[in-house]
């Protein structure tokens, strides 16, 4: 006698198995939503550098780079590691300095019932159009919308491969 026949003859077993599968699936979904594997945990800190990527430090993710950090301009640092486990700054990111103040003003208006929706759209537009990137030690900042930026944010290990490449968060 096959499994199908056995299940057809015992509807209580079939119902029990079905309920068990549903409970397991719902439990897995809730576990994922609640951040059971750490992936659902909101990032509260990012890495920044105030010395062109030579070193980096963790700070509040809501800071808009560049910002003043101990008398120097800090920018966001994207830190990666390869199979050997040694972290390195792959590239740096900032908002174009001439737009930064307008961006922060738009962020502050987002909670205003009348001006909030427009401020949110303005902030999003400024964020997309005004972000700049460069490699550590690079001479110029490049707008993120410029095709040249794609080569800057393409990350490879120091040996030129991508073996074990992964981003590092604080």
Write the DSSP assignment of 87-154 as a string of letters. EEEEEEEEE-HHHHHHHHHHHHHTT-TTTHHHHHHHHHHHHHHHEEEE-TT-S--EETTSHHHHHHH-
Mean pLDDT of 132-151: 93
Please give the pLDDT value at position 20.
47
| pTM tops 0.85 | no
User: Model confidence at 97, in pLDDT bands (50, 70, 90)?
Assistant: confident
pLDDT digits over 50-94, tens only?
Answer: 999 999 999 999 898 999 999 999 999 999 999 999 999 999 999
Q: Which two tokens stand for residue 4?
A: 């199908």
Q: Strand, coil or helix: what is 7? A: helix
- Taking alpha carbons only, the member of 74, 69, 66 closest to residue 104 is 66
Helix H or strand E segment including 38: none
């Amino acid at each position: 006698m096959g499994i199908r026949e056995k299940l057809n003859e015992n509807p209580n077993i079939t119902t029990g198995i079905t309920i068990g599968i549903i409970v397991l699936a719902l439990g897995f979904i809730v576990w994922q939503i609640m951040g059971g594997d750490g992936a659902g945990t909101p990032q509260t800190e990012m890495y920044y550098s105030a010395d062109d990527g030579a070193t980096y430090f963790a700070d509040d993710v809501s800071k808009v780079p560049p910002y003043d950090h101990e008398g120097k301009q800090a920018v966001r640092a994207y830190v990666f590691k390869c199979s050997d486990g040694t972290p390195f700054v792959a590239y740096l990111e900032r908002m174009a300095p001439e737009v930064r103040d307008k961006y922060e003003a738009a962020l502050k208006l987002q909670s205003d019932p009348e001006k909030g929706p427009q401020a949110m759209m303005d902030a999003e537009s400024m964020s997309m159009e005004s972000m700049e990137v460069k490699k550590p030690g690079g001479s110029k900042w490049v707008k993120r919308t410029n095709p040249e930026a794609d080569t800057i944010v393409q990350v490879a290990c120091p040996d030129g491969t991508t073996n074990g490449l992964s981003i590092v968060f604080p």
